[in-house]
């Protein structure tokens, strides 16, 4: 029995995932496997660090300590062979705010910003919400795995005068961990057209055993001049509610502009508890991180086998990381609305609907497997019964 098998009752904790049914108009018995947080308890050393911090019982404005920065540097060096300097790290309360800040700081209304759908919905929102032009380089599904169409990538940049590219690395929801060759090709095209790359690496730690994530700027320091890397312990260590993220910018001019914009919007401070939790996670988290990913990889295998054996019409895009699976329901022949209704009301499953990741995601849904295996077993049984009742 693994510690991750423990079922934690999260209801009544102001959890969006578990307490949001009524507010979001979802049937009260739908099993929540949607928003990207895990149902696991955080690791004991992080809990202990939070407990120690709360014992102090004064919560004035915090300032990250030297130890805080050292913990981030240590983590990036140990986990990714990525030496970063303390001064490159800017703390802000979230990666989604960082995407908007970068767009505000480095583009003007009407400028073109490129994304790779199907992708995490706030990417498109950040572009259109700030009055920028949304340019899409859709990923293509080839033999069960998503790939980048590089010809389209370059044509879209050249044809639209793209100024900024929002990269999702690893990619949510399709679970691709980009290879050094893919990163190189993207970086070279972006350099050739002077496109700033904002690489959202919030899922950097969530790769399956044997897979390696490369921070965007790590393979070639020459890319540092035109790149912003967004990191956080929030997905990896299940700390999303503590809203602490670390934006890593090597180039001093870019960094200064980004920091000024953050100050101007009043979001340059983080949460005192979040600082303590992040430092403890990055200082003590190696073993826990490896263990949670081993468990999640087994969850992924469980779902893959279950679908192959019992529900072959439902395909799973082959992921290399993430606690999220991207499932292809198109063979059920439903519209996006019908699929949403079927999953919520017939299968009793609350997943993220694929169309919310862009029209490219219609017919798909995202399943959160950051949960005990028993929860997934319930989910698969529900899905099997509902598909069976369709009589296809
Ligand atoms: C790619 C990506 N970026 C950012 C976030 C959220 O970041 P934050 O909560 O730090 O704003 C998520 C959450 O799922 C995500 O998947």
Residues 14 and 62 in one domain: no
Q: Going by CA atoms, what residue is nearest to atom 9 of ligand 1?
A: 94
pLDDT at 218 over 90: no
pTM of this structure: 0.97
Residues 92 and 112 in one domain: yes
- Cα 388 to averaged position of ligand 1 atoms, centre (Å): 35
Residue-range definition of the domain harbouring residue 119: 46-284
- Band the pLDDT of 223: cuts 50, 70, 90: confident
- Cα 308 to averaged position of ligand 1 atoms, centre (Å): 30
- Asked if residues 76 and 233 have their Cβ atoms less than 8 Å apart, the reply is no
199 pocket-lining for ligand 1 (C-beta < 6 Å):
no
Q: Which two tokens stand for residue 278?
A: 């992040």
Q: What is the DSSP string of 41-108?
A: PPPHHHHHHHHHHHHH---------HHHHHHHHHHHHHHH-----GGGEEEES-HHHHHHHHHHHH--
Domain end among 284, 316, 340: 284
- Band the pLDDT of 392: cuts 50, 70, 90: confident
46 pocket-lining for ligand 1 (C-beta < 6 Å):
no
pLDDT at 207 over 80: yes
Residues 164 and 280 in one domain: yes
- Band the pLDDT of 221: cuts 50, 70, 90: confident
Tens of pLDDT, residue by residue over 66-101, are 999 999 999 999 999 999 999 999 999 999 999 999
Domain end among 247, 264, 284: 284
Q: Are strands 89-92 and 245-248 parallel, antiparallel or unpaired?
A: antiparallel
Percent residues over pLDDT 70 in the chain: 100
CATH code where residue 340 lies: 3.90.1150.10
Residues 248 and 349 in one domain: no
Number of domains in the chain: 2
Average pLDDT along the chain: 96
154 pocket-lining for ligand 1 (C-beta < 6 Å):
no
172 pocket-lining for ligand 1 (C-beta < 6 Å):
yes
76 pocket-lining for ligand 1 (C-beta < 6 Å):
no
Q: Which residues on adjacent β-strands are paired with residue 230?
A: 200, 247
- Cα 149 to averaged position of ligand 1 atoms, centre (Å): 24
What are the counts of helices (DSSP H) followed by strands (DSSP E) for the chain? 12, 15
Ligand 1 site-directed mutation target among 95, 174, 361, most atoms within 8 Å of CB: 95
- Band the pLDDT of 269: cuts 50, 70, 90: confident
Ligand 1 site-directed mutation target among 240, 277, 367, most atoms within 8 Å of CB: 240
Domain end among 244, 259, 284: 284
């Amino acid at each position: 029995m693994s510690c991750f098998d423990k079922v934690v009752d999260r209801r009544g904790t102001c959890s969006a995932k578990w307490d949001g049914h009524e507010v979001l108009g979802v049937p009260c018995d739908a099993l929540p496997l949607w928003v990207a947080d895990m149902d696991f308890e955080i690791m004991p050393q992080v809990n202990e660090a939070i407990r120690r911090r709360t014992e102090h019982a004064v919560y004035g404005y915090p300032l990250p300590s030297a130890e805080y920065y050292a913990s981030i540097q240590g983590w990036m060096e140990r986990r990714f062979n990525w030496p970063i300097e303390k001064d490159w790290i800017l703390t802000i309360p979230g990666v989604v705010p960082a995407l908007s800040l970068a767009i505000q700081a480095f583009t003007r209304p009407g400028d073109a910003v490129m994304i790779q759908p199907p992708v995490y919905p706030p990417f498109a929102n950040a572009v259109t919400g700030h009055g920028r032009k949304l340019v899409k380089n859709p990923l293509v599904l080839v033999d069960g795995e998503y790939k980048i169409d590089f010809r389209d990538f370059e044509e879209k940049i050249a044809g639209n005068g793209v100024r900024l590219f929002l990269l999702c690395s690893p990619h949510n929801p399709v679970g691709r961990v980009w290879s050094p060759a893919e990163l190189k090709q993207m970086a070279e095209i972006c350099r050739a057209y002077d496109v700033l790359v904002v690489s959202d690496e919030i899922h950097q730690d969530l790769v399956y055993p044997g897979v390696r994530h490369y921070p965007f700027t790590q393979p070639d320091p020459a890319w540092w001049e035109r790149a912003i890397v967004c990191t956080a312990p929030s997905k990896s260590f299940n700390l999303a509610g503590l809203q602490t993220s670390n934006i890593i910018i090597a180039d001093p001019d870019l960094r200064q502009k980004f920091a000024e914009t953050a100050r101007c919007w009043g979001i340059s401070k983080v949460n005192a508890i979040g600082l303590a939790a992040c430092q403890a996670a990055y200082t003590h988290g190696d073993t826990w991180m490896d263990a949670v990913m081993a468990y999640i990889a087994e969850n992924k295998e469980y779902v893959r086998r279950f679908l192959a054996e019992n529900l072959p019409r439902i395909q799973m895009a082959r992921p290399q990381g993430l606690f999220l699976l991207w499932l292809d329901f198109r063979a059920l022949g439903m519209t996006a609305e019908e699929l949403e209704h079927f999953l919520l009301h017939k299968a009793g499953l609350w997943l993220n609907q694929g169309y919310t990741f862009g029209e490219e995601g219609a017919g798909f849904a995202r399943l959160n497997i950051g949960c005990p295996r028993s929860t997934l077993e319930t989910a698969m049984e529900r899905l099997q019964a509902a598909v069976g009742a369709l009589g296809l």
